[in-house]
Amino acid sequence: MTTENIQLVRVYDVPEPALENSFLVDRLWPRGISKVRLTGVPWLKSIAPSEALRRWVHEDPNRWEEFRGRYLAELEQTDGWKPLVELLQQGAVVTLLFANKDTEHNQAVVLRDFLQQKLSVPV
């Protein structure tokens, strides 16, 4: 699998209707986005960073590297990401939707890297 198989798209930029195999990966529902607009898009709250971790990193964006490590540890404690790996193994393109303005420092970036690592190691 390559990076092209996992797309990262800000939820505010998602076309309507959303692309097949799109998943919202935020803990909170994005402001200003109606649930109708994301009809058919699974909301994967269970694999989003915990509320405590989300608040912790928002207090100080300089905590990015430590956030990555803590979020990766949280992902290891759940199996909610396994269906995404299964889709990717079948050759599907998966789109991770996120609300953060920062397109380089957000949970979708960490989740993408995590999924790519899982694809290279038997699950």
Mean pLDDT of 10-18: 87
- Token pair of 62 as six digits: 């300089």
Instruction: Give the model's confidence band at 102: pLDDT under 50 very low, under 70 low, under 90 confident, else very high.
Output: confident
- Token pair of 101 as six digits: 């303005």
Return the percentage of the chain with pLDDT > 70, whole number: 95
Q: How far apart are the first and last CA of the chain?
A: 14
Mean pLDDT of 55-84: 92
Percent of the chain as helix, strand, coil, to the nearest 5 = 45, 10, 45
Instruction: Give the model's confidence band at 68: pLDDT under 50 very low, under 70 low, under 90 confident, else very high.
Output: very high
Nearest alpha carbon to residue 48 among 104, 96, 85: 96
Beta strands in the chain (DSSP E): 6-10, 22-24, 94-98
